[in-house]
Amino acid sequence: MKGNSKLKSSFHKIILALLLTPFSAIAEWGLNMTQGVTPISQEIYNMHMVTLWVVTVIGIVVFSIMFWSIFHHRKSKGAKAAKFSHSTTVEIIWTIIPLAIIIALAIPATKLLIKMDDTSEAKITVKATGIQWKWKYDYLDEDLTIYSSLDEKSAEVSQRNSGIDPMQSVNYLRDVDEPIVLPINTKIRILTTAADVIHAWWVPDLGWKRDAIPGFINDNWAIIEKAGVYRGQCAEICGSGHGYMPIVVKAVTMDEYTAWVSEKKIEQEAKNNTKDMVLTMEEHMTKGESVYKAQCIACHQANGEGVKGVFPSIAGSSVAIEADNRLRHIQQIIYGKGLMPAFGEQLSDVDIASVVTFTRNSWGNNTGDIVQAKEVSEARSKPNVITAGDSKKEKIAKSKIDELARAR
Amino acid sequence: MASQEIYYVPDGSKWPIVGTLSLFITFMGGAMMFNNAPGGLYVLILGLATLVYMFAGWFADVISESLAGKYSKQVDVSFRMGMGWFILSEVMFFAAFFGALYYARAFSIPWLGGEGQGLHNGTHEFLWPAFQAMWPMNVMPDPSNYTQYKDTIPAFGIPAVNTALLLTSGVTCTFAHWALKKEQRKALCLWLAATVLLGIIFVGFQAQEYVHAYNDLDLTLNSGIYGSTFFMLTGFHGFHVTMGALMLAVILFRSLKGHFSKKDHFAFEAVAWYWHFVDVVWLGLFIFVYWV
Amino acid sequence: MSTLAHDDHHDHKPTGLKRWFFSTNHKDIGTLYLIFALVMFFVGGSMAMIIRAELFQPGLQFVDPQFYNSMVTVHALIMIFGAVMPAGVGLANWMIPLMVGAPDMALPRMNNMSFWILPFAFALLISTLFMEGGGPAGGWTMYPPLVLQTGNAFPFLIFAIHFLGVSSIMGAINIIATVFNMRAPGMTLMKMPLFVWTWVITSFLLIASLPVLAGGVTMLLTDKYFGTSFFDAAGGGDPVLFQHIFWFFGHPEVYILALPAFGIVSQVIPAFARKPLFGYASMVYATASIAILSFFVWAHHMFTVGLPIKGELFFMYATMLIAVPTGVKVFNWIATMWKGAMTFETPMLFSIAFVILFTIGGFSGLMLGITPVDFQYHDTYFVVAHFHYVLLTGAIFALMSAVYYWLPKWTGYMYDERLGKIHFWLSLISSNVLFFPQHFLGLAGMPRRIPDYNIQFADFNAISSIGGFAYGITQLLFVYIVIKCALGGKKAKPRVWEGAKGLEWTVPSPAPFHTFETPPKLTKEMLEH
Ligand code: HEA
Ligand code: HEA
Ligand code: CUA
Ligand SMILES: [Cu+2]
C-alpha cells in the first residue's frame, strides 16, 4: 500500500496547513482497514478492498453517465427533451448486471464466513467476560484469571477537564493495566460473554468483533501470526464507561507465553493470600489511590463526587464516614450494590482494605480510620448487611455472587 | 374506488386534541407511578377518565352525523379501511409476543440447555451447567431470581371451555349480523346480548384461571420466560376481549335504540370484525400457549 | 342534501387557535407537521452539535459520558421520529389530496390527532433530560439489559415510543384510506404520481412494523417493573430477542424514512428534465420489492451477536439483494435525465445531490451487508457515515428538495433562488466534510457512541466537527429563506415550474383552503407524469 501512504502524507499536510493544529504531528494516521495479523483478518481486508473497488467502479461509471447527461442535456445549451419513458431491454439489463455483481461478491463472502465459523481444534481457550467497565479473562486450560481495566494514566487524563492534554500519551484510552497475553501461531478460541450488559470484544488486528452477551457465550477463534501488541476497544454501548474499556492483546512466542502463565499463577497465589498483611496509613493511601484510579474513578470520579443522579458521591457519604458503616462500606465493595459491580473476587483483601481506607480519608472524609486486610477477610464471611432485611434484593445479590462464582 | 359523490369533510373538532391530552395525561400518570412519584395514580385516573370522555364525545359526534345522513358510501369505505388496517396493526402487535414465545422455545431455551454447538459453544457448559432445556420450563437457568411454579394450566380444562365459548360467540355474532340484515331487531339484540354474555363469561373464567395460577400454582409473571409469555399473551388478549365486549355492549345499546339499518351499520360490522380478530388470536393462543 | 353533506362554508377558514388545534384541513395539518419537523430538526441538530463539540478534540471538555450518551440517543430519536418522519407525513398531508384530486384526507379528525400527539410525545421524551439520572442513554436502539439501567427516564421513554407509534399508525391508516378511497375518477393506481405510490407503500411498512416495536418496548417495561424475563437468560429469555424485535421494526423503519424521499426525487427530476419519469411501472415494482425485502434483512444489524451461520448467510443474501431494486431506481432517475432539457433550480440541485450521495450511502450499506467484513465495520464510525449519508444527504436532502419544489405552491410566492442555491452548495460541501471523514475513522477502528477517543482519531474528528458546525449554521439560512418566502416575494403562477406535471399544479398558488370539493374532471394531460 505504498500509494496509499503517499496519499496519506500529502493529505496529512493539507489538513495540517488548514487547521494549524499542533496535534496532527503526533497522530498516527489511518485511512483504511487494518490488514491485521491473522489469516482471517487478511482475507477480510481483501474482501473489503474488492467490494470497495467494485462499488467505486460502479459509482464512477454510473455518475460519469449522469454528469455527461447533466452537461450535455441542459436547456441552456438548447437541448430539447426527448419523449421516451421506458425501455424494457435496458431495464432488464440493469437488473441483471447488479444481480450478477452481487452474486459474484456473495460467493467469496460465503466461503470466508464458513471458514470463520470453524472453531474446532483450538489449543488454548480464553473466556472474555465484559463487566461494566473492564474485561475479565479466564484461561480455561490454566486455571488462571486476570482482570483488565483502563490504565491509571488514561483514567486520570480522561476525567472531564482534567487539565492534562491527552495528546501527550500515544495510547490514550487504548492501554490497560493488565494486557491479555496470547501465544502466536496457535489456534486460540476466545469465548465472549458478559456479566451485566452487552459488550463487544474487538481487536481489529484479529479480524473480528463479537458481542459479549450476558447469559450466553459466543465462540470465536484466531491464529496470531506475528508477535506484537494489538489494541482494540469494547464495541457495543455499555453505559457511561463504554469508551473506557480497551482491550490489549500481547502476542508472544509459546515459550514466553508459558513463562508468563506460571509467573501470573504465582502472583495470583500471593494475591489470594493477603489477609495477614498490615500496612501503615501512608502505604494504604498510596495503594488505595492507585486501586481507586484503576477501579472506581470511572464512576465515582477523581474528586470522589460521582455523577449526580447516577453514581453517588463518596465524598461526604455517610457510608464512607460513619464508624458504624465500616462493615457496610467494605461489603459494598465486596458485593456491590445496584449498578455498582462486585469487586470481591477481583480485588485482594489488602486492595480492598486500602481502597476503603483511602476513600475514608480523602476529599474531606477525614475519619482517620485504617482498615486492615484482616477486617476485609472477616467481612467476606459475614452476612451481607447491605441487602439484609430485603429478601428480594438479597436474592439478587446472592445470585450475582453465584454468577461470578459460576463464571469463574 | 373513487365515486362522484361529495365527500363529507367535518368541521374543526375538539375531540382529537382532547384525545391527545387524555393519552398524554394517562402516560404521565403511568410513568409517575412507575417512578413512585406521589399522585401518579390520580393523574392516571384523570387521564383514563378523559379518555372515556373523549371516546364518548367523539363517537357521539360521529353517530349523530351518521344519523343525519351526512355520510356517503365513500365515507363508509374510509371507515372500513380504517378499521381493517387498525386490526392489522393489532395483529402485528400480537405477532411480537408470539415471536417472543417462538424464539424462547426454538432458540434461547435450547441454547441455554446446550444445543447449538459451535455457535454458542460453552453457554451451557460454563454458564448454566445445571440447566436442562424443557418446555414448559419450570426450573429456570437461575432459579434464585425467578418464581418456580408447581404446574401449568392444562389446555383441556378451562382453556378448552373458553375456546368453545369464544367460538360460539363468533357464531352468535354472525347470527346477529344476519338478523340485522333481515331487519329483525329483536333477534339482533338477543344474539348480540348472547355474544356479550359469552365474552363476559370468557373473561370471568380467565380471571379465575389467573387467580388459580397465582395462588395455587405459583405461576406468575415472574415465572421465567414461560410465565412471561403466558401472562403477556393471555393478558393482552383478555384485555382485548374486555374491550371487544364493551364495544359490543355499546352496539347492543345502539341496536336497542334502533340505530342500524339493513344497509347502514358500519359500526356493527367494525365491532364484529374486531370480535372475530380477537377470536382468531385466541385460537393461536390456545394452540401455541396452552396446547403444544 | 348537498348542503347537509358539507359543513364547511366555502372560502371560510376557521380563525385563531381553533384553526390550528381543531383543524380538519389537510393543508393546515400538513403545515403544522412541516413546521414541527423543522423545529425538531433544529432540536435534534443542536444535540448533534453538542456531540460534535465534544468530539472536536480528544479529552472530555463539555459533557459527562452519561450525558453524551443521552445526547446520542435523543438526537437519533428526535431526528428519526421528530424530524424526518413528520416532515414526510407533512408532505403527504399537503400533497396527496392535491395529487389524487381528493377534497381532503379520508379521516380528517384522526389526521388532527396524529399530528397533535407529536408535540406531547416529544414533551414526554425531552422532559427526561431534566430528570434525576438524566435522559435515556442506551442508544436509540434501546438494547437491554443496558436500557433497563435507565433511571426515572425509563417509563417516559417507553411511553413516548408508544405514543409516537399511535400517531404514526393513525397517519399511515389515513394515507392508505385516502389513496385507495379518495382518488378522483380516472386517477387509476398506475396513473398516480410516484410520490403517492411511495407513501402508500411506506404506510404499509408503518402499519406492519411499528406495532412490533410497541410490543418490544412493552416487554422492556414488564422486564423492568413486573419481573418478566423476556430478555434475561437467567429466566430463559435472551437479550438478543429484543434486538430481533427491534430490527424487525428498525430496518423497515429506515425505508420508511427513505421511500418518501425516493418519491420526492421521482417528482422533481422529471419536472426539471422536462421529460416523463423513465420506467414508471418498474419504479412502482422496485419500491414494492424494497418494501417487501425490508422485512427479511433485519438481522444485518446483528451479524456480530452470534447468529447461526445459516441465518447469517440468509440475511447477507437478502441484504445484498436490496441493491438490485434500489439500483433500478437510481438508473431510472438517470435515464430520466438522459436526453432531457434540464435546468438546475434549487429543488433539482438537491435531488441530483440526493441521487449521488444516497448511492454512496447505499454502497457503504452494501459493504456492511457482507457479513464477514461487517465483523470489522460493525459499531464503528463507518456505520455512522453510512447512515448519515442515506439519512442526512439522503432523506433530509430530498426533503429540502421537496420544500423548495412545493414552497411556492404553499405560500403563493417564489423563494429567493439565489439564496436557495447558496444554501444548497454550502449544505453539499459541509455535509461531506462532516460525514466523509467518518468512513476513515471507522475503518481505522473508532467505535461509535464514545465521548472520547484515542489521539489517532483526532484529526478526522476535528474536520468532521468543523463540517458539522458549518452544516448547522447553513441551516439557519434555510429557515431565513422559508420565512422570507412565506412573507412575500414574486407571485407564483399555478404551474410554478415549467416542466412540472400533475394535478397539484392545476390549482392556484397558494392552494386555496379547500380544493377539489367536487372531484375534478381529469384530462389526459393532467394524468401525465
Ligand atoms: C434511510 C435509511 C437507510 C437506508 C436507505 C439504508 C440502506 C441500506 N443499508 Fe443501512 N442503515 C441505516 C439506514 C439506512 N440504510 C441506519 C440508520 C443504520 C444504523 C442503525 C444503528 O445501528 O443505529 C444502518 C445500518 C446498516 C447495517 C448494519 C451495520 C452494522 O451495524 O454493522 C447494514 C448491514 O448490512 C446496512 C445495510 C444497508 C444496505 C445494504 C442498504 C441498501 O438499501 C442500499 C442499496 C443501495 C445501493 C447499493 C446503491 C444504489 C445501487 C446501485 C447504483 C446499483 C448497483 C450497485 C451494486 C450492484 C452494488 N445498513
Ligand atoms: C434523520 C436522521 C439523522 C440526521 C438528520 C442526523 C444529523 C446529524 N447527525 Fe446524527 N445520528 C442519527 C440520525 C441522524 N443524524 C442516528 C440514528 C444516530 C445513531 C444514534 C445511536 O448511536 O444511537 C446518529 C448519531 C450521530 C453521531 C454518532 C454519535 C456516536 O456514535 O457517538 C454523530 C457524530 O458526529 C452525529 C452527528 C450528526 C450531525 C452533525 C448531524 C447534522 O446533520 C445536524 C445538522 C442540523 C443542525 C445543526 C441543526 C440546525 C442548526 C442549529 C441548531 C443552529 C446552531 C448551529 C450551531 C451552533 C453550529 N449523529
Ligand atoms: Cu463495554 Cu462498551
Ligand atoms: Cu438495516
Digit-coded pLDDT (tens) for C400-446: 999 999 999 999 999 999 999 999 999 999 999 999 999 999 999 99
Q: What is the position in ligand 1's atom list of the atom closest to the CA of A59?
A: 53
Tell me whether residue C401 is one of the annotated catalytic residues. no
The answer to whether residue A199 scores a pLDDT higher than 80 is yes
Tell me whether residue C416 is one of the annotated catalytic residues. no
Query: Could you tell me the CA-to-CA distances from C237 to B106, B108, C241 in Å, in that order?
Result: 11, 6, 8
CA distance A240 to chain C (A): 5
Residue C384: pLDDT band with limits 50, 70, 90: very high
Tell me whether residue C251 is one of the annotated catalytic residues. yes
Cell numbers found for residue C88: 414526510
Contact residues on chain B for C207, CB-CB shorter than 8 A: 85, 88-89, 92
| Interchain contact, C21 vs B100, CB within 8 Å | no
Tell me whether residue C448 is one of the annotated catalytic residues. yes
A125: β partners: A189
Task: Choose between C260 and C11: higher pLDDT.
Answer: C260
| Interchain contact, B118 vs A119, CB within 8 Å | yes
Quick one: which ligand is closest to A100's CA? 1
Specify which of A241-245, C397-401, C511-515 reaches the highest per-range mean pLDDT: C397-401
Q: Tell me what the mean pLDDT of segment B144-158 comes to.
A: 84
Residue C395: pLDDT band with limits 50, 70, 90: very high
Q: What is the position in ligand 2's atom list of the atom closest to the CA of A237?
A: 22
Q: Tell me what the mean pLDDT of segment C124-128 comes to.
A: 93
Strands A228-234 and A246-252, sheet pairing: antiparallel
A311: β partners: A307
Residue closest to A257 by CA, chosen among A185, A190, A181 = A181
Residue numbers of A between 10 and 29 with CB closer than 8 Å to C: 12, 15, 19, 21, 23-24, 26-29
pLDDT tens digits, residue range B154-176? 888 888 999 999 999 999 999 99
* φ/ψ bin of C2: left (φ > 0), alpha (ψ from -120 to 50), beta (otherwise): alpha
Q: Among A142-146, B174-178, C96-100, C478-482, which is the least confidently predicted range? A: A142-146
Cell numbers found for residue A256: 514466553
Cell numbers found for residue A335: 458485593
Of A26, A47, A106, the CB nearest to C320: A106
Residue A6: pLDDT band with limits 50, 70, 90: very low
> A203: part of which helix (H) or strand (E)?
strand A199-203
| Interchain contact, B145 vs A117, CB within 8 Å | no
Q: Tell me what the mean pLDDT of segment A5-19 comes to.
A: 45
Nearest CA to ligand 3 atom 2: A242
pLDDT of residue A389: 53
Cβ–Cβ under 8 Å, residues C205 and C291: yes
Residue numbers of C between 11 and 40 with CB closer than 8 Å to B: 14, 18-19, 21-24
Among residues C23, C128, C150, C167, which one is catalytic?
A: C167
Cβ of A236 below 6 Å from ligand 3: yes
Q: Up-side HSE of residue C440: CA atoms within 13 Å toward CB?
A: 23
What is the spatial distance between Cα C368 and Cα C508, in angstroms, rounded to a whole number? 47
Q: Among B131-135, C105-109, C160-164, which is the least confidently predicted range? A: B131-135
The answer to whether residue C12 scores a pLDDT higher than 50 is yes
CA distance B276 to chain C (A): 19
pLDDT of residue A32: 86
Residue C80: pLDDT band with limits 50, 70, 90: very high
| Interchain contact, B118 vs A218, CB within 8 Å | no
Q: What is the position in ligand 2's atom list of the atom closest to the CA of C83?
A: 1
pLDDT tens digits, residue range C169-199? 999 999 999 999 988 888 888 989 999 999 9
**Is residue A225 less than 8 Å (CB to CB) from chain B?**
no
What is the spatial distance between Cα B179 and Cα C311, in angstroms, rounded to a whole number? 52
Contact residues on chain A for B129, CB-CB shorter than 8 A: 406
What is the spatial distance between Cα B48 and Cα B54, in angstroms, rounded to a whole number? 10
pLDDT of residue A4: 45
pLDDT of residue B5: 60
Residue numbers of C between 28 and 87 with CB closer than 8 Å to A: 57-61, 63-66, 69
Of A32, A52, A158, the CB nearest to C60: A158
**Sheet (strand A180-183) strand order:** A180-183, A246-252, A228-234, A199-203, A208-212
Cis peptide before B143 (omega within 30 of 0): no
Q: What is the CA radius of gyration of chain B?
A: 23
> B192: part of which helix (H) or strand (E)?
helix B185-215
Q: Tell me what the mean pLDDT of segment C312-317 comes to.
A: 94
Specify the 3-state DSSP secondary structure of B184.
coil
CA distance A190 to chain B (A): 11
pLDDT of residue A329: 87
Tell me whether residue C255 is one of the annotated catalytic residues. yes
Mean pLDDT of chain A: 83
pLDDT of residue C489: 85
Q: Tell me what the mean pLDDT of segment A142-162 comes to.
A: 85
The answer to whether residue A270 scores a pLDDT higher than 90 is no
**Is residue A64 less than 8 Å (CB to CB) from chain C?**
no
Cβ of C433 below 6 Å from ligand 2: no
**Percentage of chain C surpassing pLDDT 70?**
98
pLDDT of residue A395: 52
The residue of B15, B18, B20, B51 whose CB has the most chain C CBs within 10 angstroms, and thus the best one to mutate to test that interface, is: B20
Cβ of C45 below 6 Å from ligand 2: yes
Q: Among A31-35, A274-278, A355-359, C183-187, which is the least confidently predicted range? A: A274-278
Quick one: which ligand is closest to C289's CA? 1
The answer to whether residue C346 scores a pLDDT higher than 60 is yes
Nearest CA to ligand 3 atom 1: A199
Residue closest to C359 by CA, chosen among C319, C403, C390, C399 = C390
ipTM score for this prediction: 0.90
The answer to whether residue A292 scores a pLDDT higher than 70 is yes
pLDDT of residue B231: 93
Of A127, A399, A407, the CB nearest to B145: A399
Cell numbers found for residue A301: 470520579
Alpha carbon of C362 to ligand 1 centroid (Å)? 5
Cα C58 to chain centroid distance, Å, stands at: 32
In terms of Cβ atoms closer than 10 Å to its own Cβ (0-12, 13-18, 19+), residue C17 is exposed
Residue A9: pLDDT band with limits 50, 70, 90: very low
Residue C319: pLDDT band with limits 50, 70, 90: very high
**Is residue B103 less than 8 Å (CB to CB) from chain A?**
no
Alpha carbon of C45 to ligand 2 centroid (Å)? 6
Specify which of A297-306, B107-116, C15-24, C277-286 reaches the highest per-range mean pLDDT: C277-286
pLDDT tens digits, residue range B34-93? 988 888 899 999 999 999 999 989 988 888 888 887 888 888 888 999 999 999 999 999
The answer to whether residue A309 scores a pLDDT higher than 80 is no
Cβ of C88 below 6 Å from ligand 2: no
Q: State the CB neighbour count (10 A cutoff) for residue B83.
A: 19
Tell me whether residue C12 is one of the annotated catalytic residues. no
Of B2, B5, B128, the CB nearest to C183: B2
| Interchain contact, A191 vs B122, CB within 8 Å | yes
The pTM score is: 0.92
Q: Among A122-136, A388-402, B47-61, C496-510, which is the least confidently predicted range? A: A388-402
Mean pLDDT of chain B: 88
- Domains present along chain A, CATH in parentheses: 22-73+86-116 (1.10.287), 124-267 (2.60.40.420), 281-407 (1.10.760.10)
pLDDT tens digits, residue range B238-289? 999 999 999 999 999 988 888 888 888 888 899 999 999 999 999 999 999 8
Architecture of domain B71-291: Up-down Bundle (1.20)
Orientation of helix A88-116 relative to helix A39-72, angle to 10°: 160
pLDDT of residue A399: 52
Contact residues on chain C for A85, CB-CB shorter than 8 A: 275-280
**Is residue A402 less than 8 Å (CB to CB) from chain B?**
yes
A136: β partners: A129, A147
- The one-letter amino acid code at A111 reads K
pLDDT of residue A156: 83
Cβ of C471 below 6 Å from ligand 2: yes
**Is residue C110 less than 8 Å (CB to CB) from chain B?**
yes
Mean pLDDT of chain C: 91
CA distance B170 to chain C (A): 25
